[in-house]
Amino acid sequence: MEIRVNPTRMEYNRLKGRLKMAERGHKLLKDKRDELMRKFLELIKENKKVRQEVEAALSRSFANFLLASAVMSSAAMEEAVMYPKAAVKVDVKTQNIMSVRVPRISVVDAGEKTEDATPYGFADTSAELDSSLAELAGILPQLIRLAELEKAVALLADEIDKTRRRVNALEHIMIPRLQETIKYISMKLDENERGALTRLMKIKDLVRGDETA
């Protein structure tokens, strides 16, 4: 379906300019979409790897925690983990990926060292509880990286969808309409030129007839 316009030479030139800009924008958006997809697949691959590592560590920690629960009383367990000893401070910044701002999180202050971070003495606790908490403390960097990746993947997926819709709108709606309208105007201009030429020839014939008469 063409765009409703007056079939004039000025409008023809204006729409040709719009078509050129639309085609350039279409190419740029396709390049952006392809680069976003490449980066998205890279992050998905890393996300899968980090998630598997984190899930494996959490499984080990949970297994040790269940063993500790079996050999310790619930009161002793609750008392041991009630007051955390370690504190973690993080710095959250952003990174630009193809105009998408994704988070970058880094630990700026981990407080106590991991081996000194247990909030209890070792006299009334089991080795399984120690192992469970040590496992959790050890995977902190991976947990932070996983959080980064999860958010980055979600943001990139949203941007890819928006870019894809813009590409499709240009490719299947705007550019074809402009091309159809330009074709329509070109045909009208050709018709007008032929009509003007026909009228001119008739006028010349009339003038020649008057001269011979």
Q: Where are the domains of the chain?
A: 9-202
Helix (H) or strand (E) holding 104: strand 100-109
Burial class (CB in 10 A: 0-12, 13-18, 19+), 112: middle
For residue 56, pLDDT over 80 is answered with yes
Render pLDDT for 97-120 as a digit per residue (tens, 0 to 9). 888 999 998 877 655 554 455 555
Residues 197 and 15: beta-carbon distance below 8 Å: no
Provide mean pLDDT across the span 36-43. Answer: 95
State the pLDDT at residue 128.
83
Fold of 9-202: Helix Hairpins (1.10.287)
pTM: 0.74
